[in-house]
Amino acid sequence: MWLYLVALLGLWNLLRLLRERKVVSHLQDKHVFITGCDSGFGNLLARQLDRRGMRVLAACLTENGAEELRRKTSNRLETVILDVTKTESIVAATQWVKERVGNRGLWGLVNNAGIAVFAFNEWLNKEDFAKVLDVNLLGMIDVTLNMLPLVRKARGRVVNVSSVMGRISLFGGGYSISKYGVEAFSDSLRRELSYFGVKVAIIEPGGFKTALSSNDRVSSALKMLFDQASSEVKENYGENFLSSYLPTVKSLMETCSEDLTLVTDCMEHALTSCHPRTRYSAGWDAKLVYLPLSYLPTFLTDAIAYLSSVKPAQAL
């Protein structure tokens, strides 16, 4: 009995692999618009697709980031300055894209731009949450809604970068909230656009070493947020809480993978395969730790998180 099940599972995986290997034709004629190309996943994906011969339209936040990317790529790649928190910037970028894609439409839209703030909820105020949501969720929605007519015309792809923290929230702050929102928006968008032949994929990376997740940046942000917290919060957590908590954060950051291609290969597959997946989990920690945790009963997940955490001074 078990042998039949194993054989059936193996056959199913083989057929899926063969199906997913089929590549879209005429890639060299297809335009892909990517947000957040100054560094990290967006920058690497832009260079990766450019080497493959696709027509990359890379959106950067800064002129320095755009200039650096152009130096590392071919003349096919074009850049535009984009702030996803400003509608006027998005409208201008959409018009810029429209002029380049013409009647062919936009084959791929990759919503990659994002920021991260990891902290305890009590340390933050409404503006701290809003800052993250404006970029990671509302900015992504604004870009998508403006670009959709161009994507629909090409019967193309929308690729939204979420996170395993969009499946299980282990940290406070706006990051997980925004990624849960990305998951919800992407699911509804996928169903709506399926009638028009447009496919929507979600990328769910685990921990990766990027500018957003560097140990120095995260530690500095935590110190600043704790300093701005109320005296009552500081009393509850203890003035020496950070000295115990930061080494734990550092250890977690050190487990992050440096191989960003694990993520960009998923993005590339979502854009170039005839049969892309709905979700891509990138990184072994995503596959073996965070996603399994998200499927456990809530009380077990809570118990694991509690036992592995640093406790506040006034914890029961």
User: What pLDDT digit, counting tens, does each position of 225-282 carry?
Assistant: 888 888 888 888 887 887 888 887 787 788 888 999 999 999 999 999 999 999 999 9
Per-chain mean pLDDT for the chain: 91
Assign domain 27-210+258-290 one CATH number from 3.30.70.3270, 1.10.1580.10, 3.30.230.10, 3.40.50.720.
Answer: 3.40.50.720
Distance CA 217, CA 190 (A): 35
pTM (2 decimals)? Answer: 0.91
Report pLDDT digits (tens) over 151-176: 999 999 999 999 999 999 988 899 99
Q: Flag whether pLDDT at 135 surpasses 80.
A: yes
By annotation, the residues acting in catalysis are 175
Q: How confident is the model at residue 315 (pLDDT cuts 50, 70, 90)?
A: low
Report pLDDT digits (tens) over 59-106: 999 999 999 999 999 999 999 999 999 999 999 999 999 999 999 999
Query: Around Cβ 34, how many Cβ atoms within 10 Å?
Result: 26
Q: What percent of the chain is predicted at pLDDT more than 70?
A: 93
